[in-house]
């Protein structure tokens, strides 16, 4: 393609999609970016179109009517519904796996069975279709904590670490009897708790080649000190201090390449983003979960640190030509991202509160604010979701990046604003008697392009 000819459609309306639109719009190859449905932030870098991410018919019409050259699917729901399959049958280039590949995220049971089939290291687990059997199993256990996961999609809210049988039975009842997470909790997984360091590693893949991106450390729990219920993510740090070349080789050889090989031998064409949520244990990396799309808020760190143009990699992934691409280049500085949430998230929360201070936040050196749950209304920006925005900043070290990110974040105000105040600080790990501290700093220099059979 010649310069500035591409029309790109980004599907979704969260912080991940704002970050993708921001990065894609900077490409000299791109003429226009559309975002469906978008948010108050995407409108500054893309043309927002009022089509829901779950409206497969509407998105197919939009891609045809606008003569879209590349569709980038952000959220997990449209992937699980088969949007990529539908668009590909109509001749569109699509970044995102088909419905079969999306089952890696859409079903915890399928993912665990896939891990076992491919001998990819993960925690011991059991599946349950009846609450009584699940509670009997919990009452028979003596080793705590354990982890309970809803089988289906829960927007990051379907994982529960329980400390006792009583607590576990309460979670089981909420999921399977009270249907607090809908049909996603009709079947559950109970698995061992893995102590260690949590890490997110994402890789672009066209089904034959991997392009491993820089790893990111995500903060899943709502409160400081990694306390409280799980969320979709309350903050990010990249690069990550404990990630070494040796560890990345282990992750590639034990997790990513076996997963790629497994998808191929099981006849699943996967062209998109393979996300491995990992626990780095004393025995090496163990898979907590697979996702089938860019992480949120991990993507915000990726686009801030990626020097290279992202669009050629998205195109090559969609076309099946990723092997021809050179490894991307990365900013060696640290990126910190602080997520601002609505009071009450991840449970019930209010929407519609006016947001102020965005311009002042954007004026902070090396800071970029990505919108998540926001909307525009008569030239005002209002809250419209649980995770409202993510203030990111780059710095020469973690302390500088942290100072700038919080400086930007603190300019922004709305009623009920909440955030963790410990993003980037040393973390106390639940790692048994030999508790350690992590201090994010230093880069691993990732982004290698690897074939399935590379050593």
Task: Please determine, for residue 259, whether its predicted confidence score (pLDDT) is greater than 50.
Answer: yes
Tokens 């590949």 found at: 101
Give the start-to-end residue ranges of the domains of the chain: 8-98, 124-192
Residues in the chain: 455
Query: What does the pLDDT average to over 290-295?
Result: 96
Asked if residue 353 has pLDDT above 70, the reply is yes
Whether 15 shows a pLDDT value over 70: the answer reads yes
Average pLDDT over residues 207-231: 95
pLDDT value for 451:
59
Higher pLDDT, 2 or 140: 140
| pLDDT of amino acid 447 | 52
pTM exceeding 0.95: no
Collapsed DSSP state (helix, strand, coil) of residue 233:
coil
For residue 374, give Cα distances in angstroms to 27, 41, 294, 353, 384: 25, 8, 20, 10, 5
Choice between 4 and 189, residue whose per-residue pLDDT is larger: 189
Cα separation of 57 and 264, whole Å? 29
240 has a pLDDT exceeding 90: yes
Distance (Å, whole) CA 424 – CA 238:
9
> What local confidence, expressed as pLDDT, does residue 452 receive?
53
- Percentage of the residues of the chain whose pLDDT score is greater than 70: 93
Quick one: average pLDDT of 112-121? 97
Say what the pLDDT of residue 340 is.
98
Average pLDDT over residues 174-194: 93
| Contacts of 410 by beta carbon, 8 Å cutoff, 6+ apart | none
The DSSP line for 42-107 is GGGTSEE----TT-HHHHHHHHHHTT-SEEEE-SHHHHHHTHHHHHHHTT--EES--HHHHHHHH-
Beta strands of 118-261 (E only): which ranges?
125-128, 146-150, 159-162, 188-192, 197-205, 209-212, 217-218, 221-223, 227-230, 235-238
| Per-residue confidence (pLDDT) for residue 153, from 0 to 100 | 87
Res 216: pLDDT: 98
Cα separation, 51 vs 344, whole angstroms: 28
As a whole number, mean pLDDT of residues 112-123 equals 97
When pLDDT is averaged across residues 425-442 and rounded to a whole number, the result is 50
435 burial type by CB count under 10 A (0-12 exposed, 13-18 middle, 19+ buried): exposed
Q: How confident is the model at residue 1 (pLDDT cuts 50, 70, 90)?
A: very low
Is the confidence at residue 435, as pLDDT, over 80?
A: no
* The CATH number of domain 8-98, selected from 1.10.230.10, 3.30.70.330, 3.40.50.20, 3.40.50.300: 3.40.50.20
Residue 453 pLDDT grade (very low, low, confident, very high; cuts 50, 70, 90)? very low
What CA–CA distance (Å, rounded) separates 299 from 321? 23
- Tokens representing 185? 């909790």
Q: Which two tokens stand for residue 378?
A: 């008569």
How high is the pLDDT of residue 450?
62
Q: Report pLDDT for 448.
A: 55
3-state secondary structure 270-333: CCEEEEEEEEEECCEEEEEEEECCCCCCHHHHHHHHECCCCHHHHHHHHHCCHHHCCCCCECCC
User: Has residue 300 got a pLDDT over 70?
Assistant: yes
pLDDT of 442 > 50? The answer is no
**Distance in angstroms (rounded) separating the CA atoms of residues 413 and 388:** 11
Mean pLDDT across the chain: 93
Q: Out of 3.40.50.2300, 3.40.309.10, 3.40.50.620, 3.30.1490.20, select the CATH number for domain 124-192.
A: 3.30.1490.20
**Residue 24 · residue 310 · CB < 8 Å:** yes
239 pLDDT band, cuts 50/70/90, is very high
Interval 149-155 mean pLDDT: 87
User: Could you tell me the strand order of the sheet in which 197-205 lies?
Assistant: 284-291, 272-281, 197-205, 209-212, 449-451
pLDDT at 396 over 70: yes
């Amino acid at each position: 393609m010649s310069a500035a000819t591409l029309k790109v459609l980004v599907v979704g309306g969260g912080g991940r999609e704002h970050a993708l639109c921001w990065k894609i719009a900077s490409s000299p190859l791109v003429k226009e970016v559309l975002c469906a449905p978008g948010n108050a932030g995407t409108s500054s870098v893309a043309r927002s179109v009022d089509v829901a991410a779950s409206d497969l018919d509407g998105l197919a019409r939009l891609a045809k009517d606008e003569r879209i050259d590349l569709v980038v699917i952000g959220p997990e729901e449209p992937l699980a519904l088969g949007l990529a399959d539908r668009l590909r049958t109509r001749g569109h280039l699509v970044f995102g796996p088909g419905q079969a590949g999306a089952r890696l995220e859409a079903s915890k049971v399928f993912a665990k069975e896939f891990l076992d089939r491919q001998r990819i290291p993960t925690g011991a687990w059991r599946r349950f279709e009846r609450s009584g059997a699940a509670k009997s199993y919990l009452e028979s256990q003596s080793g705590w904590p354990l982890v309970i996961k809803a089988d289906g999609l829960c927007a990051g809210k379907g994982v529960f670490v329980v400390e006792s049988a009583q607590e576990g039975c309460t979670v089981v009842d909420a999921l399977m009897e009270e249907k607090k997470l809908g049909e996603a909790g009709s079947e559950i997984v109970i698995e061992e708790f893995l102590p260690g360091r949590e890490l997110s590693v994402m890789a672009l893949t066209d089904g034959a080649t991997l392009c491993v991106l820089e790893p990111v450390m995500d903060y899943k729990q709502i409160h400081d000190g990694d306390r409280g219920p799980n969320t979709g993510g309350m903050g990010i740090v990249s690069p990550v201090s404990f990630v070494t070349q040796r560890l990345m080789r282990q992750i590639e050889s034990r997790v990513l390449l076996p997963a790629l090989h497994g998808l191929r031998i099981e006849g699943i064409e996967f062209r998109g983003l393979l996300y491995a949520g990992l626990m780095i244990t004393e025995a090496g990396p163990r898979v907590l979960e697979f996702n089938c799309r860019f992480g949120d808020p991990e993507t915000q760190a990726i686009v801030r640190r990626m020097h290279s143009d992202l669009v050629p990699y998205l195109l090559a992934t969609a076309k099946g030509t990723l092997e021809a691409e050179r490894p991307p280049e990365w900013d060696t500085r640290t990126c910190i991202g602080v997520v601002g949430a609505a009071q009450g998230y991840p449970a019930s929360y209010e929407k519609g509160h006016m947001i102020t201070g965005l311009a002042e936040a954007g004026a902070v050196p090396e800071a970029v604010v990505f919108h998540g749950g926001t909307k525009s209304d008569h030239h005002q920006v209002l809250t419209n979701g649980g995770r409202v925005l993510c203030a990111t900043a780059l710095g020469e070290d973690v302390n500088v990046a942290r100072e700038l990110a919080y400086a930007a974040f603190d300019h922004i105000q709305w009623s009920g604003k909440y955030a963790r105040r410990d993003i980037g600080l040393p973390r106390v790990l639940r790692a048994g008697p030999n508790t350690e501290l992590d201090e994010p700093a230093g880069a691993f220099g990732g982004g290698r392009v690897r074939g399935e059979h590379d050593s």
